[in-house]
Amino acid sequence: MATNLPYSQACENNKTPILEKLRKIFNAPGKVLEVGTGTGQHAVHFATAMPHLQWQPTDHPDAVDSCRARLEQAALPNILPVIELDVGAAPWPVETFTWAFSANTAHIMAWTEVEQMFRGIGERLPEGGAFCLYGPFNNQGRYTSESNRQFDQYLKARSPHMGIRDLEDLRALAESVGLTLAENHAMPANNQLLVFRRLS
């Protein structure tokens, strides 16, 4: 058994609350595109709990190796082989999926990459599908907590392209690609789970 796997304490903390919401959204057989699989902790936890799904892990070419050992160790029949996905590179290596999920990516990506992620998902998400985006978000330009303000300062000190995104900007971006912000779930540690849907 592999040891010393890449590990995220944040993933460990939030995987159960996120799963409680995803069970109600990804509630029928289908394929989930995960953008930014990271350590693979979410993929393994969610695929184990929802065997009716095919889980498609992806990550940026520079980061894709971080999840490989964990996914290989788990050896779940409903986790597909991880693929490299640079959201800004066309064409995307995955064409069809029922749902999409991404956690703690929007504040790491440059805004242009966030736009490209929404565009790529919006072009492929079927009617009735949903894109679930988890993380910290601002509301009308205001921080929702002091810890989020500090986290935003930390991100911008690391790199100017990073930062907590504003809910209204994401709503407008989604609408530009035919998606509607249908649900906004408050989550632990001042995070939110945004559910964008393609409605008829």
- Note the pLDDT tens digit of each residue in 48-66: 999 999 999 999 999 999 9
Residue with tokens 């592999």: 2
Please name the residues in contact with 124: beta carbons below 8 A apart, sequence gap of 6 or more.
92, 94, 95, 96, 97
Domain annotation covers residue 77: yes
Domain annotation covers residue 23: no
Residue 182: C-alpha distances to residues 20, 153, 179 (Å):
17, 29, 9
Query: Residue-wise over 23-43: b if at least 16 C-beta within 10 A, else e?
Result: eebbeeeebbbbbbbbbbbbb
Query: What is the C-alpha to C-alpha distance for residues 179 and 105, in angstroms, rounded to an integer?
Result: 19
Contact 169, 139 (CB under 8 A): no
199: pLDDT confidence band, cut at 50, 70 and 90? Answer: confident
Residue 131: C-alpha distances to residues 20, 53, 89, 173 (Å):
16, 15, 20, 13
88: pLDDT confidence band, cut at 50, 70 and 90? Answer: very high
4: pLDDT confidence band, cut at 50, 70 and 90? Answer: confident
**What is the pLDDT averaged over residues 1-15?**
87
Question: What is the distance of C-alpha 73 from the center of its chain?
Answer: 22
- Domain that residue 129 falls in: 29-197
pLDDT given for residue 3 in this prediction: 64
8 or 4: which carries more pLDDT confidence?
Answer: 8
Domain annotation covers residue 44: yes
1: pLDDT confidence band, cut at 50, 70 and 90? Answer: very low
Contact 193, 135 (CB under 8 A): no
Closest CA to 41 of 24, 21, 20, 55: 55
Residue with tokens 């930062």: 163
146: pLDDT confidence band, cut at 50, 70 and 90? Answer: very high
CATH code of 123's domain: 3.40.50.150
Q: Where are the alpha helices (DSSP H) in the chain?
A: 9-25, 41-49, 68-74, 111-124, 146-158, 167-176
- How many independent structural domains does the chain possess? 1
**What is the pLDDT averaged over residues 123-146?**
96
Domain annotation covers residue 7: no
Domain annotation covers residue 19: no
Contact 139, 166 (CB under 8 A): yes
Domain annotation covers residue 149: yes
pLDDT tens figures, 94-133: 999 999 999 999 999 999 999 999 999 999 999 999 999 9
Query: What is the C-alpha to C-alpha distance for residues 133 and 90, in angstroms, rounded to an integer?
Result: 22
Domain annotation covers residue 14: no
